[in-house]
A and B are shown apart, each in its own frame.
Chain A
Amino acid sequence: MPQDTSYTHQKFNVIGTRPKRPDGIDKVTGRAKFGADTSAPGQLVGLILRSPHAHATIRKIDTSKAERLKGVKAVLTSADLPDLTDGDRAMLDILENCMARGRALYDGHAVAAVAAIDAQTAKKALKLIKVDYKVLPHVTDVDEAIKPGAPIIQDWVFTAGVEPKPKRPSNISQRTEFGHGDVEAGFAEADVIVERSYKTEQTHQGYIEPHACLASVRPDGSGELWVTTQGHFTFRNICSSLLGMDVAKLKVTASEIGGGFGGKTHVWMEPVALALSRKANRPVKLVMSRDEVFRATGPTCSTSVDVKIGAKKDGTITAATAELRYQNGAFPNIWGMLGAMTSFACYDLKNVKSIGYDILCNRPKVAAYRAPSAPMAAFGVESTMDLVAAEIGMDPVDFRIKNAAKEGTLASYGPTYGPIGIGPTLEAVKNHPHMRARLGKNQGRGMACGFWFNFGGQTCTDLNIGIDGTVTLTVGTVDVGGSRASLSLIAAEELGIPYDQVITNIADTASLGFNDMTEGSRGTFSSGMAAIFAARNAIEVLRKRAAQMWEIPVEAVVWEKGEAKAMGKKHGNLPQLSLKEIAAKAPNTGGPIAGHSEVVADNAGVSFASHICDVEVDPETGATKVIRYTVIQDAGKAIHPDYVEGQFQGGAVQGIGWALNEEYIYGEDGRLQNAGFLDYRMPVCSDIPFIDTQILEIPNPNHPYGVRGVGETSIVPPLAAIGNAVSNAVGVRLSHVPMSPPRILKALVEASGS
């Protein structure tokens, strides 16, 4: 059946209500099973040996003593993980990141692994593995990595996107450029030009649950993996490809997930666990320590960004440019390109150019972190926007409203926008009571905007109706933020039944067709779309069954408010049949009643947010306290407003941590100095105020309910909103994130000249 994804102005009964999430009680009582919460008969403990060096050649690994230790069942090095990638460099990078292949590229890079009967034996075995390193020069700073003479991280990387093609390898893996118009002519028209440079430090997603899995490979080559992940179908495909297994022979089950934020869209040690299990012929459980999570999984980029904006005195921006240098870790990716694409996406600009550089360093492979790359670009652009507004004497909100992108605007990254929500979020900021609240001594207010793309992707869903009329919705997108509640609401809405008559489950990879990961703010958008179509398909079956029960043509049956209704003069007096009544007769009317849907949910609809922040800065210590914070974002349609607000609040809190405290600190030796929550300071409840939210609903024309993704955009504005607030509080522009007490004090001292 053709699936029309167009927005239909449907009136809702249960969409927009706030029922309790089905997984809530299990999670707060400890019953929920996360990555480390399962076991198998005969399971072994897996541990990984990691490089203490930022950059080194591995001359030799001697595992003989570890192998002879009683209780050790398998020892693994890259020799056990042959390259099966058939020239696919991106896959080989994943394999090399999971287990070093002749060279260690960062502090924490895996070099060997063991599986033993218990943790004590496994730890002993790790100590018995002797690795002969030749230590090489290293570089961990993004600006240092592109200076002449910097150590080259990957000798096969030649800068892409420049002509002529370079003849020497470089730490710049690619240069990308976006924009339109003539920026030089635009700057010539400007009355005011502001040009500033900014830096942001590397942060980790900081999910509370470390990576964990239980792998079991049988002698016949089939296997199972229980794992904490944002995308078990993708994990299955990557692991089976790297290990030479048939896709269908590897069953992956996603555990409950204790946060991911992009960090669990990548495999880190799961192929190693499977390889250990295959070698030992026993199940292997591998659980990372927090130290390993920091050192050897994927934080976001550190960056160095230059922004230049020119404007007329009436507030019209005449030109804008940005040059963005993003540190990718030891493996090339496209994070700088994303920074360049997102940097000016909020604005309607005649002349704009952004250039992104992706740069390699001796740091862990960078992973996605909630609207990846956008927050750092927004920090530079939105800070400069405030500076330009001040130079021309215009209110910063009015300045943004004057230049905001709208339907028909040519986006700085290329396409022309459809209906979008940046203007309405800015108008909401202007009218919000927060903007009129009085500030006290040492306090400042800032605001900023943010953009993220959002996307949909491949999605597959089953809906089954039980004999008692209860409904099971089976989806393949991992629930990271309450999506089971939202998806149950959608199925209930379509079928016309109460929310608590629907249970949503996450299927393993053997039970449902492929689903893309829960990333790109796609979970509720895409599985919601598939759930709508699956429910509509089930309704077709329900109509047929009702027609059979009544012995009338199916054309005379309609579905209304959860019941089959006979239409027409001949049948109109028949009593309506409820879903439960039809379900009860299913065995005698054709068997189980179900609806299925597979869909590629494209057109997720871009997302915008504007944030307001008040801070108080202690001028003696430089310590900053966020005292009030408001998030305003377009959700398209909030299916379950609690979880939309939760996403808004969560992104803001992560942004507050990033803006004020969080930072990877590397020593001169290239080793991470603060790989633990005591020294890597994330905000806790007592650090933050209640995060106020305002949901705007500007329907996405390409979703039946108007839904847009909401999970990521909320982390984009905070760095800049807080930067603007701090700068307004202390009277000095802060340009280096995190704005930790020492950096604020330093800025104050430099400004005062004392």
Chain B
Amino acid sequence: MLQVKLTGTLQSAVDDEAEVEIDAATIRELLTRLVERYPRMSKHLDEGIAVSINGEIYRDNWGTQIPDDAEVFLMPRIPGG
């Protein structure tokens, strides 16, 4: 079971929780289950989201495996200049 931390406005989509427990082995599973449980997350997925796994930030590679004991943060997708 992953402990998933959320930052910024993403927290408001999960009933203002800073951390939620999700059973997932990949980023795709994680996001799918988050939306199932918290439908308001869907909007944030549409706007773009990034997942930090053990400090490494993934924006697009949803097939990425998430180790059981990983530190997982959800962050908004960041634009650059």
Residue positions of A touching B, CB distance < 8 A: 88, 90, 160-161, 163, 174-178, 205, 261-263, 265, 334, 337-338, 340-341, 368-372, 411, 413-418, 453-458, 519-522, 600, 602-604, 702, 712
Known contacts A163-B16, A337-B8, A600-B60: does B55 contact A368 (CB below 8 Å)? Answer: no
Closest CB in chain B relative to A207 CB, distance in Å: 11
Partner of B54, one of A161, A371, A416: A416
Q: Are B81 and A418 in contact (CB under 8 A)?
A: no
Give Cα A416 to B69, complex, Å.
14
Closest CB in chain A relative to B17 CB, distance in Å: 12
Give Cα A417 to B76, complex, Å.
18
Q: Which residue of A lies closest to B60 (CB)?
A: A600
Known contacts A161-B8, A163-B16, A416-B71: does B78 contact A603 (CB below 8 Å)? Answer: no
What is the interface size of chain B, counting residues whose CB is below 8 A from a CB of the partner? 27
Give Cα A90 to B73, complex, Å.
25
Chain B binding surface SS class: loop
Instruction: With A88-B46, A372-B81 given, name 4 new contacts (CB 8 A).
Output: A263-B81, A519-B79, A602-B58, A602-B59
Report chain B residues within 8 Å CB of A456.
59
Report chain B residues within 8 Å CB of A263.
81
B35-66 Cβ-contact flags toward A at 8 Å (1 or 0): 00000000000110000101111111100100
Report chain B residues within 8 Å CB of A338.
78
Partner of A413, one of B7, B54, B81: B7
Closest CB in chain A relative to B44 CB, distance in Å: 10
Give Cα A414 to B52, complex, Å.
9
Contact sample, A vs B, 14 pairs, CB 8 Å cutoff: A161-B12, A163-B16, A337-B8, A337-B76, A341-B75, A368-B80, A368-B81, A372-B79, A372-B80, A372-B81, A455-B59, A457-B60, A522-B80, A702-B56
Report chain B residues within 8 Å CB of A90.
47
Give Cα A369 to B80, complex, Å.
8
| Number of residue pairs A-B, CB distance < 8 angstroms | 107
Q: Which residue of B lies closest to A174 (CB)?
A: B9
Q: Are A334 and B76 in contact (CB under 8 A)?
A: yes
Give Cα A600 to B63, complex, Å.
11
Residue of B16, B58, B61, B81 most packed against chain A (CB within 10 A): B81
Q: Which residue of A lies closest to B75 (CB)?
A: A414
Q: Are B59 and A712 in contact (CB under 8 A)?
A: no
Report chain A residues within 8 Å CB of B28.
none
Closest CB in chain B relative to A182 CB, distance in Å: 14
Across the A-B interface, the 5 shortest Cβ-Cβ residue pairs = A520-B80, A262-B81, A368-B81, A519-B80, A176-B8
Q: Are B71 and A415 in contact (CB under 8 A)?
A: yes
Q: Which residue of A lies closest to B76 (CB)?
A: A334
Q: Which residue of B lies closest to A516 (CB)?
A: B60
Closest CB in chain A relative to B30 CB, distance in Å: 15
Give Cα A261 to B81, complex, Å.
5
Closest CB in chain A relative to B70 CB, distance in Å: 10
Q: Which residue of B lies closest to A300 (CB)?
A: B81
Known contacts A415-B52, A600-B60, A602-B60: does B81 contact A370 (CB below 8 Å)? Answer: yes
Known contacts A265-B79, A519-B79: does B47 contact A161 (CB below 8 Å)? Answer: no
Q: Are A458 and B52 in contact (CB under 8 A)?
A: no
Q: Are A455 and B78 in contact (CB under 8 A)?
A: yes
Report chain B residues within 8 Å CB of A458.
60
Report chain A residues within 8 Å CB of B47.
90
Report chain A residues within 8 Å CB of B12.
160-161, 163
Give Cα A90 to B43, complex, Å.
12
Partner of B56, one of A340, A371, A603: A603
Give Cα A522 to B46, complex, Å.
22
Report chain B residues within 8 Å CB of A337.
8-9, 76
Q: Which residue of A lies closest to B8 (CB)?
A: A176
Q: Are B57 and A602 in contact (CB under 8 A)?
A: yes
Q: Are B61 and A414 in contact (CB under 8 A)?
A: no
Q: Which residue of A lies closest to B56 (CB)?
A: A603
Q: Are A371 and B81 in contact (CB under 8 A)?
A: yes
Report chain B residues within 8 Å CB of A261.
81
Give Cα A161 to B6, complex, Å.
13
Closest CB in chain B relative to A203 CB, distance in Å: 12
Known contacts A161-B12, A163-B16, A176-B9: does B56 contact A602 (CB below 8 Å)? Answer: yes
Give Cα A458 to B16, complex, Å.
32
Report chain A residues within 8 Å CB of B59.
455-457, 600, 602
Q: Which residue of A lies closest to B27 (CB)?
A: A602
Report chain A residues within 8 Å CB of B11.
161
Give Cα A521 to B16, complex, Å.
33
Give Cα A603 to B57, complex, Å.
5
Q: Are A520 and B7 in contact (CB under 8 A)?
A: no
Q: Are A415 and B73 in contact (CB under 8 A)?
A: yes
Report chain A residues within 8 Å CB of B81.
205, 261-263, 265, 368-372, 519-520, 712
Q: Are B75 and A413 in contact (CB under 8 A)?
A: yes
Report chain B residues within 8 Å CB of A521.
80
Known contacts A161-B12, A174-B9, A415-B52: does B58 contact A603 (CB below 8 Å)? Answer: yes
Closest CB in chain B relative to A349 CB, distance in Å: 16
Report chain B residues within 8 Å CB of A453.
57, 78, 80
Give Cα A602 to B61, complex, Å.
7
Give Cα A520 to B77, complex, Å.
11
Give Cα A115 to B16, complex, Å.
51
Closest CB in chain B relative to A260 CB, distance in Å: 8
Q: Which residue of B lies closest to A358 (CB)?
A: B9
Residue of B57, B60, B73, B79 most packed against chain A (CB within 10 A): B79
Report chain B residues within 8 Å CB of A416.
54-55, 71
Give Cα A148 to B17, complex, Å.
31
Report chain B residues within 8 Å CB of A88.
46
Report chain B residues within 8 Å CB of A522.
80
Q: Are A178 and B7 in contact (CB under 8 A)?
A: yes
Give Cα A160 to B47, complex, Å.
14
Closest CB in chain B relative to A25 CB, distance in Å: 28
Give Cα A519 to B9, complex, Å.
24
Report chain A residues within 8 Å CB of B61.
600, 602
Q: Are A520 and B78 in contact (CB under 8 A)?
A: yes
Q: Are B79 and A520 in contact (CB under 8 A)?
A: yes
Closest CB in chain A relative to B61 CB, distance in Å: 5
Report chain A residues within 8 Å CB of B71.
415-416
Report chain A residues within 8 Å CB of B73.
414-415
Closest CB in chain A relative to B26 CB, distance in Å: 13
Partner of B9, one of A161, A372, A417: A161
Q: Which residue of A lies closest to B46 (CB)?
A: A88
Q: Are B5 and A414 in contact (CB under 8 A)?
A: yes
Known contacts A177-B8, A415-B73: does B57 contact A712 (CB below 8 Å)? Answer: no
